[in-house]
Structure 1
């Protein structure tokens, strides 16, 4: 969901900047200004002296401008951190037992966990995702269950099977997991 919102927001911001930048470039090169444009020729300035000093003597103007710019900066920084933050665990530190360690690709462990979770009886689809630190990973597993399956039994089979195998094969002391269960929706079928 966040990925979709992020892409839509980026698309809208890009479109607005493209339209504004293109119209500024076109007017600057001598093209006729669009009807909605705030200036009428290429020699107009963006802000005239009267527009720049309009609220200069009002005491509320500069605090409001600074507050709006500060909020915009904080939102932009928050968005940048959210976009750049890694959601997936790139590698897992495996204890080899000899005092050394080995690195296992996080995607490989996710794929193995997903495949084994999908083989649990009554699971239609499965998806595993690793988060956390490489020395203390955490698993997030989503299971789509068939209508006839008991969720408790499916959860028990997952924890004693796939999650236990992943934990022991990676040599982890623990592998905390968040499991989300939902039912598979089947389309209506005509019975004759």
Structure 2
């Protein structure tokens, strides 16, 4: 949801800036603007002296300007923190069968997944990250494979062992996973 809002907002701001900048450039290059446009021609200024000093004598003007700018800064900071915030799931709701349930720390489940996947044959290092909702988590696993590892066998072992154990221990109906595999860089071996 936030990704869609982010893209739409950036697109609208970009389109607005493009239209305004392009129209000012066109008027500056000599294109005759329509009668309702804010600029009359090539030698017109953006703000005349009368427009700039119109509200200076009013007591409400500067507090309004400062409040509006503070609101823009706060909204921009909120947007920035929402964009930069990590999408890591902190807790997983475990069904204990008594109707109450329990909460399992997300990092604990990630650590167990990483340890079990890291001990598989051919895996140099494993990283796991939970995302989604606490009652329907998803995981993203990144495996760094050694040169001799078979990706198909490693994926089957990960699915049959680590992911199945994590799903069963947390009492989840399903634990969808996105698995990314990369090869570990190594020196070339000499053949004699």
Report how far residue 151 of structure 1 moved. 0.5
Show the counterpart of 1:79: 80
- Give per-residue Cα distances to partners, 1:75-101, cap 9 Å, x unaligned: 655323112x34211111001012220
- In the alignment, the residues of structure 2 paired with residue 80 and residue 148 of structure 1 have an alpha-carbon distance, to the nearest angstrom, of 42
- In the alignment, the residues of structure 2 paired with residue 126 and residue 97 of structure 1 have an alpha-carbon distance, to the nearest angstrom, of 32
Report how far residue 146 of structure 1 moved. 1.2
Aligned residues: 130
After the TM superposition, list the runs of 4 or more consecutive aligned residues in structure 1 that deviate by more than 6 angstroms.
72-75, 189-192
- 3-state SS of paired residue (1:187): coil
Q: How does 1:110-189 map to 2 (within 5 A)?
A: 110-188=110-188
User: TM-score normalized by structure 2?
Assistant: 0.59
Give ranges in structure 1 of 5+ residues lacking alignment: 1-53, 58-68
Show the counterpart of 1:104: 104
User: TM-score normalized by structure 1?
Assistant: 0.59
Q: CA RMSD in A?
A: 3.0
Within the alignment, does 1:55 sit opposite 2:46 as a pair?
A: yes
Give ranges in structure 2 of 5+ residues lacking alignment: 1-44, 49-68
